[in-house]
Each structure stands twice: as structure tokens, then as C-alpha cells.
Amino acid sequence: MLTDTDSEVAAVQMELLRRASISEKLGLVQSLTSAVVSLCRQGIRERHPEYSERDVDLRFVEMNYGRGLAEGMRQRLERDRE
């Protein structure tokens, strides 16, 4: 595995993860997930500054869950606007 983390630091990190409670581990997962979602949405905004927040949401769904789901959401949102 490629890493820039010193092996001693990595060993300490692994030990801390082993000792962490389930709720602490879930908190880490939630935090990392939130960071990844934020970075993805930020990247979409940077590549498409003309997009509205709705457009960013739909593009995020398309990229991560597929075109079919994004299109279904787009249609649902259009129906709800009427």
C-alpha cells in the first residue's frame, strides 16, 4: 500500500483504532464520509460555477448513484414544482 505515513505513526494509528469503541469508529466513518461528500460537491461547483445548488445535487447523485436515479430525481423535482 502506498502511504506517506511513517511506519511507527501508522502502528500507533492502528492501535488507537483497535482500542476505539464502536461509537468512536462510527463517528470517524461519519466524519470521513461527510468530508468526501463535501469535497465531491466542491469539485462539481468548481468545474461548473454556473450550476445551481439543485444542479450540484443532481450531478452528485448521477456521479455516485447513477444516471437513472438522478433522472428520476430530476423528474420528481419537476413534478413537485408544478
Domain ranges of the chain: 7-81
Cα(65)–Cα(25) distance, integer angstroms: 25
Q: What is the pLDDT, as a whole number, of residue 81?
A: 87
Give the position of cell 502506498. Answer: 2
Q: Is the pLDDT of residue 1 over 70?
A: no
Cα(32)–Cα(79) distance, integer angstroms: 34
Mean pLDDT over residues 30-39, rounded? 97
Mean pLDDT over residues 59-64, rounded? 97
- How do residues 69-82 score in pLDDT, each as one tens digit? 999 999 999 999 88
* Dihedral sign of CA atoms 69, 44, 78, 33 in order: positive
pTM: 0.75
Q: What is the pLDDT, as a whole number, of residue 3?
A: 80
Q: Is the pLDDT of residue 5 over 90?
A: no
